[in-house]
Amino acid sequence: MSKTDYYELLGVSRDASDRDIKKAYRRLAMKYHPDRNPGDKESEDKFKELSEAYEVLSDNQKKAAYDRFGHAGVDGQAGGFGGGGGFEGNFSDIFGDVFGDIFGGGQRRSSVQRGADLRYNLDLTLEEAVRGCEKSLRVPSLASCDVCNGSGAKPGTSAKTCSTCGGVGQVRMQQGFFSVQQTCPTCHGSGKIIPDPCTACHGHGRVEKVKTLQVKIPAGVDTGDRIRLAGEGEAGANGGPTGDLYVQVNVREHPIFQRDGKHLYCEVPISFVDAALGGELDVPTLDGRVKLKVPAETQTGKLFRLRGKGITPVRGGGVGDLMVKVIVETPVNLNSRQKELLREFQDATEEGQHKHSPKRHGFFDSVKKFFEDMT
Q: Looking at the structure, tell me whether residues 301 and 362 fall in a common domain.
A: no
Q: Looking at the structure, tell me whether residues 38 and 81 fall in a common domain.
A: yes
Q: Looking at the structure, tell me whether residues 230 and 136 fall in a common domain.
A: yes
129: in domain: yes
358: in domain: yes
Q: Are 172 and 165 in contact (CB under 8 A)?
A: no
88: in domain: yes
Q: Looking at the structure, tell me whether residues 212 and 117 fall in a common domain.
A: yes
Q: Looking at the structure, tell me whether residues 64 and 87 fall in a common domain.
A: yes
Q: What is the pLDDT of residues 14-71, one digit of tens each?
A: 888 888 888 888 888 888 887 778 778 888 888 888 888 888 888 888 888 888 777 7
Q: Indicate the annotated binding residues.
A: 145, 148, 162, 165, 184, 187, 198, 201
Per-residue pLDDT, 214: 94
DSSP at 144: E
1: in domain: no
278: in domain: yes
Q: Looking at the structure, tell me whether residues 168 and 265 fall in a common domain.
A: no
Domain holding 356, by residue range, is 336-374
Q: Looking at the structure, tell me whether residues 36 and 136 fall in a common domain.
A: no
Q: Indicate the annotated binding residues for Zn(2+).
A: 145, 148, 162, 165, 184, 187, 198, 201
Per-residue pLDDT, 245: 94
Choosing from 193, 218, 244, the residue where a domain stops is 193
Compute the mean pLDDT over every residue in the chain, rounded to the nearest whole number.
Answer: 82
Number of domains in the chain: 5
Q: What is the pLDDT of residues 64-109, one digit of tens each?
A: 888 877 777 676 554 444 333 333 333 333 444 444 444 444 444 4
Residue 2: CB atoms within 10 A of its CB come to 17
Beta strands in the chain (DSSP E): 118-124, 133-144, 160-161, 170-175, 178-183, 192-193, 206-217, 226-229, 245-251, 258-260, 263-271, 279-285, 288-294, 303-306, 322-329
Strand partners, 121: 248
Strand partners, 135: 215
Q: Looking at the structure, tell me whether residues 217 and 306 fall in a common domain.
A: no
**What's the CATH code of the domain at 292?**
2.60.260.20
369: in domain: yes
Q: Looking at the structure, tell me whether residues 119 and 144 fall in a common domain.
A: yes
SS3 194: coil
Q: What is the pLDDT of residues 160-202, one digit of tens each?
A: 888 888 888 888 776 655 667 788 888 877 788 889 999 999 8
Q: Looking at the structure, tell me whether residues 206 and 115 fall in a common domain.
A: yes
| CA–centroid distance for 159 within its chain | 38
Q: What's this model's pTM, rounded to 2 decimal places?
A: 0.58
Percentage of the chain exceeding pLDDT 90: 37
Q: Looking at the structure, tell me whether residues 367 and 273 fall in a common domain.
A: no
Q: Looking at the structure, tell me whether residues 126 and 216 fall in a common domain.
A: yes
**What's the CATH code of the domain at 56?**
1.10.287.110
Distance CA 145, CA 12 (A): 51
